[in-house]
Structure 1
């Protein structure tokens, strides 16, 4: 890896590390707080607005990156996100939180594709290592943020969001100081020069490669399920396991992912194609949601958290491998927009329905019913992945990592 690419990777990894710490401090605390004072529905609405913002950002990310460069897009997006998060601590009420959440989403939806665009523009032999360190940084940040969130669970929200604001300012500085203006894209990729329109609906066209539409839709449903867990579990803890901090499940998921990400994914991707590996990740989520619904108490939550992470460990990197192998380098910016659109759409619907289903299960005296619905959806998607596995590319060799780093691919 060249010094320039190594330097860029340091900036990208530092940025995603700080972002995950910040996000996993504030959102479990805020969701649990709103679930207790308002309802699961309103907690879901606030989280949904972040994904409305991310969805909107997919329409202008490519145009913004073409004009101010990938580094500029990361800087601008992170600055907007940091400002909105800082104002969260000085606001009150669902309306104010929802408006600020929209800007949090717009900022994140502008910065995150830029980080991923950098990694996907690395050469094939460097890409697995780059993605693996990115994933490791994200998971370490998740674990650290969940631990800090537990310590700040009963602290005034102004203090919580002040800490988060400082972390995102660090993200803004680290990522923008180290990454190059336009990444490492070929000149014909359209990364510079303002040729792309500032606002574009091209993401609706999808990526014109065999099987892409099916896989993008599957990814949307995966993110629907993933955010359903992230929003639903703090509400679940507040109702059924109040003795634990709302972020406690993320301690388990973060640590489990750190331990299993490298060996489990490496083994499976060597022997199975990406479609089958994605299916296994969804099976793990099916088991976890069933456990959450059946047991509901803290021990059952702990057991379920050990299997729900199979989605992050298996589905997400397999999907990224499929895209990275099938999409030409000059179309990766468009691919990032499409991937982020489907991810944001799934998260937007999932965050809202997670709160609605939680309220319905509670009001109809059907505890756990919301998790059973999620389990059925995950099981259906697992069968779809198995039926689609012949359309995914054959698994290739995983490039050996150096310096003890992982070989997996990213979130």
Structure 2
């Protein structure tokens, strides 16, 4: 890796780490505050609008890059996100929070794929290392933010969001200082439309549609965990910081991701691993619903990570193995669309179901519903595996390992990988 690329990689990794730290400091705190003041549905609705912003930004992304270049688009996205987050400290009422949340998501939708695009232009032999280190920085930021978030419980929101605003300004400064402009992008390509729905062409994916729909359900369940857990902690484990389950999940993922997936991938086909992943989510949801104590939160947070460890890379392997090379780029675009859509639905329904459970006097009802959905998906995947076992080919160990490193995941938001893909 050249000195220029090495500096760029440092800038990208430092930026995403700062972003994740900031996001996971404030999100687990903001959700229960909104839930207590306005109800679980409205807390979920605010998070829902971040994904609306993120999904909408995908239609502008190509046009913005054509006009302002990739690095400048990343910096602009970070600034939009930073300003919206900073203003949240002085906001009041769901309408204002909702508008700011939309711009947080829109800025994230500009900056996050821009960072991945920068790494994708590295020399081919350097890309695995670059994407692997990016994923590590992403997870370390999530873990660090979730752990630091406990220090800000009960702190004035103006102080909390000012700290997060400063972290995002640091992200912007790092991107500006360490990520060089691409000389090939200095001439604006004004012929590219500012708004384009070309990404939707990737949705025509033939016989694999059922698995793409399944992935959307998975990201719906991931968003359900992300929104429901802070509300759950405030209601049933109030003596713990609402960010505790997230750093437990993040630490577990860092420890188990590579060894566990590598072990399972050598023995089982991707569809079966997806089934096991959904099964783990089902078990975790049952633990959250039936236990509702600190001990069961810890156990459930560890179990639910198995879904992220197994499903996300298995789905990437399945797509790459089933799709022809000329259709792969469109398929990847479809993956992002289905992920964002699943996150949107999950964040909206999670708060609503939590509110219904409280009003109906059935503690854990929201988790039981999510668990039933996960169980149905697990049975669907397992049935497909049995039906097609004779025709299925298992991916190579080398390819599967690369898929793990390149996979964009986030147990929250998933928040994120889209999660909150990465953040709100």
TM-score of the pair, normalised by structure 1: 0.88
- Do the aligned partners of residues 299 and 396 (structure 1) sit closer, same or farther apart at CA in structure 2, a change above 3 Å counting? same
Question: Which residue pairs with 1:341 in the alignment?
Answer: 337
* 2:146 aligned partner: 146
**For structure 2, which runs of at least 5 residues remain unmatched after alignment?**
410-424
- 8 Å CA contact 1:49–1:348 kept in 2: the answer is yes
Q: In structure 1, what is the equivalent of residue 398 of structure 2? A: 398
RMSD across aligned C-alpha pairs, in angstroms? 3.0
Aligned to 1:410: 408
The answer as to 2:120 corresponding to 1:100 is no
- Pair 1:231–1:262, CA change in 2 (3 A): same
| 2:9 corresponds to | 9
Q: 1:255 — aligned with what?
A: 251
1:308 and 1:219 mapped to 2: Cα distance? 16
Give per-residue Cα distances to partners, 1:22-60, cap 9 Å, x unaligned. Answer: 111111111011111221011111111111111211211
- The residue number in structure 2 matching 1:356 is 352
Please name the residue that 1:160 is paired with. Answer: 160
SS in 2 for 1:33: helix
Contact 2:88 2:100 in 1 (8 A): yes
Matches within 5 A, 1:251-400: 251-323=247-319, 326=323, 328=325, 332=329, 337-387=333-383, 394-398=394-398
- State the SS of the aligned residue for 1:59: helix
Query: How many residue pairs get matched?
Result: 402
CA contact (8 A) 2:270 2:314 kept: yes
Contact 2:286 2:368 in 1 (8 A): yes
For 2:214 and 2:122, locate their aligned partners in 1 and report how far apart those are by CA, in whole Å: 26
Q: Which residue of 1 aligns with 2:422?
A: none
Give secondary structure in 2 for the equivalent of 1:92.
coil
Give the corresponding residue for 2:84. 84
Asked if 1:72 corresponds to 2:72, the answer is yes
Distance 1:338 1:121 in 2: 21
Out of 107-116 and 317-326, give the one that drifted further.
Answer: 317-326
**1:103-122 pair list within 5 angstroms:** 103-121=103-121
Measured at CA, do residues 139 and 277 of structure 1 come closer, stay the same or move farther in structure 2, by a change above 3 Å? Answer: same
Structure 1 unaligned blocks of 5 or more? none
* CA drift at 1:200: 1.4
Residues 27-66 of structure 1: matches in 2 within 5 Å? 27-66=27-66
TM-score (norm: length of structure 2): 0.85
User: In the superposition, relative to structure 1, how do residues 339 and 112 fare at CA in structure 2: closer, same or farther (>3 Å)?
Assistant: farther
Q: Find the counterpart in structure 1 of residue 210 from structure 2.
A: 214
* Aligned-partner SS, 2:72: helix
Residue 200 (structure 2) pairs with residue 204 (structure 1):
yes
With over 3 angstroms needed to count, the CA separation of the structure-2 counterparts of 1:80 and 1:61, relative to structure 1, is same
1:131 Cα deviation (Å)?
2.8
Distance change in 2, residues 1:78/1:242 (3 Å)? same
1:239 to 1:170, Cα distance in 2 relative to 1, 3 A: same
